[in-house]
Structure 1
C-alpha cells in the first residue's frame, strides 16, 4: 500500500486499527500531538480549536459525500443529519381495515345467551372481549377492535454492513493546488 495522505479516511474489512491510523469514532485529540491533522480538518468534527479537536464519528452512521446532488439537499463536511427512529402517524400508513371474524358455537351445551365470567373470543391484556353484565347481542369491549401501535417509533436506518472506518494520522501532507 502506498503512503496515505494525512487525514485520509479508509474503510478496512478487519476489526483493528492499523498502525498510523485512528478509528473514526469521534475521539477527542490534542492539537499539540496531531498538529498536521488538525491543520487539515480543524474543528470540522468538534473540539475547542485551542487545545483539542475531534475525529469524524462513523459509529452507527452511514457516510455521505459533501455537496448537493440533483434533487438532494446540500451537505457540508462534518454535518450530521437523519434520525434512527421515526414515529408514524395515520397519514403515513396506507389505507387498510381490521376485520374481526366471529364464529357461531354449534355445540348447544356450550351456547349461552349472556356472556359469563371467563367467556371471550380471546384474552386481551387480561380481559375478555365481551363487555361484562350485558344482554344477548352484546357489544364488544373497546379494546377488542381498538387502534394498534400506541405511537411507538420504529427503526428507520438503512441496511448496513459493519466496517472499520479509519483516518490516517501519518503519511504525506496533501499539496494544495
Structure 2
C-alpha cells in the first residue's frame, strides 16, 4: 500500500486505527505537534485554532460531500425525531356510516346508522362539538429513529503521510 496523503480518509473493516492513522472521532490534537495536518484541516471540525484542532467526528454520522450550501465540517440532522402536528401531512380519516336504521344498542364493533326518527342526525350544525372522547389525537409523543439503513465500519484519517499537492 502506497503512502497516503496527509488527511486522507479511508474506511477499514478491522477494529483498530493502523499506524499513522487515527479514528474519525473528534479527537483534539495539539497544533505544535501536527502543523502540516492543521494546515489542511484548520478548525473546520473544532478546536481553538491557537493550541489545538479537532479531527472530524463521524460517530453516528453519514459522510456527505460539501456543496448545496453546506461547508466543510458542518454537521446537521439528528438520530431521533419527534414529529409535531405541523410536520404531519394533511390527511383525512374516513368515517363509515349506514343509511339504514340502526338496530344495535352498543357502538362497539358497529358503525353509525340512521336514526329511526328523522332529526337530522347527519345534518350540518354551526359550532357543534362532538362528545368528549369521540375523536382525539393519537400517538405517544415519543421520538422515532430517523436513521437510514446502515452497517458500521471504522473511518480513519491519515495523520502521517504525503502533504497533498494542490494548485
Same fold (TM over 0.5): yes
Q: Report the CA distance between 1:20 and its aligned residue.
A: 0.5
In structure 2, the partner of 1:151 is 141
Root-mean-square deviation over aligned CA pairs: 2.4
Q: Report the CA distance between 1:27 and its aligned residue.
A: 0.7
1:1-177 to structure 2, matched below 5 A, reads 1-68=1-68, 74-90=69-85, 92-93=88-89, 94-96=91-93, 102=108, 142=133, 146-177=136-167
Q: Report the CA distance between 1:148 and its aligned residue.
A: 2.3
Moved more, 7-16 or 49-58: 7-16
Note closer, same or farther for the CA distance 1:145–1:164 as it changes in structure 2 (3 Å cut): same
In structure 1, the partner of 2:118 is none
**Per the alignment, in what secondary structure is the counterpart of residue 32 of structure 1?**
helix
Structure 1 unmatched ranges of 5 or more: 69-73, 105-139
User: Take 1:11 and 1:162, find their aligned partners in 2: how far apart are those partners?
Assistant: 10
Structure 2 unmatched ranges of 5 or more: 97-106, 111-130
Q: In the comparison of the two structures, how many residue pairs are matched? A: 135
- Summarize deviations over 1:12-70 as a string: whole Å, max 9, x none: 111111110000000111111111101111111010011100000000000000123xx
TM-score relative to the length of structure 2: 0.71
Note closer, same or farther for the CA distance 1:98–1:84 as it changes in structure 2 (3 Å cut): farther
User: Take 2:92 and 2:139, find their aligned partners in 1: how far apart are those partners?
Assistant: 15
